[in-house]
Structure 1
Amino acid sequence: MKRLFHFLDTLTERRSRALASTSSRRGALVKVGKVVVAGAFALPVLPFDRTSQAFAADNNGKAKKKELTDTDCDYWRYCSVDGFLCSCCGGSTTTCPPGTSPSKVTWVGTCHNPMDGRDYLVSYNDCCGRTSCGRCQCNTNYGDRPGYRMGVHNDVNWCMSNDSSVYHCTVSVIVGVAEQG
């Protein structure tokens, strides 16, 4: 067995040295580059699954819109959320899970409810005090503004004003109807 390994090792070394003496690194990089470029052109034509998107078939085979729940990132009141949904982490859309407390500061977004055609002011409260939930992460950022406008910027740890600055999840509380005009 030892002889076999020695033979394979010697053979591999000879072949590698012979290849290295007859080719250049530049030539090898050109060949690898050609393969990468050819592969990149093939990628856009590969099929991918879109069945989990917003349409599902009913019993008659007709397409209908999927009913969104409070655990879907496309749910209307999550139009400006950035974080884990508390409805997936032991809480609800409006209440923090046990063992956490709502942040003392929040960010506010205006979301359109397609069911009644009205716009609502939604306060996004981070729930603080436990490690990140890690489920149902949404990052929609609709209407997000730069970080220097803190009240309309969602990419901040809003738990910074609480006793514990550890982020767990986010709730979305409707605080009013947006005025039309």
Structure 2
Amino acid sequence: MGSKSRDHAHGPGRVVVGVSGSLGSVTALCRAAAEARRRGAELWPVLAWEPPGGELAARRSAASTLLVDEWERLARHRLCAVLSDVLGDAGTGAPLHALVVRGAPGRALVELADRDEDVLVVGTGRRGWRRAFSGRVAAYCLHHARCPVLAVPPSPLESTLASAHRRNSWHLPLSAKQLS
């Protein structure tokens, strides 16, 4: 995926988006789909995964090598479920090329979005604009990408859901007005 792909003229480009299933990545996926439609580009949702304990731990354990296929299957299942939940039957309105990649998410996204006409879309996590780039993946992409990076802030719904979760875990009453 290195410089070889940068040597050829490409069509309208790709919108590459990191998808993990988190609310932030779902927000980024929605924004990426809209961006792909707007640009007439292909949408490339990518779920990057690493073996539990990291690559070094996976190499050390003979048992974990037997589990690699299962971990990859679970990653594919998660990506398919997120795409189905978010995009539904309507799809994106843009050509879709979903990928599951083994590796660190930031590095995998940057290596994939290697063309000048690409746009890389990442969610910024739970902390909002005050610390928008505090997430490791977003920070890595912003520092290493060779294409434009669109850092999508969390959905306003995320703070409402977090507040409801806190109230629920503390067994405090919650009214429907607090959710609107």
**Fold shared by both chains (TM-score > 0.5):** no
Q: With structure 1 as the length reference, what TM-score do the two structures score?
A: 0.22
Q: Which has the higher helix share?
A: 2
Instruction: State the structure with bigger RCO (CA 8 A, min sep 6), 1 or 2.
Output: 2
Q: Which has the higher strand share?
A: 1
Larger Rg: 1
Q: With structure 2 as the length reference, what TM-score do the two structures score?
A: 0.22
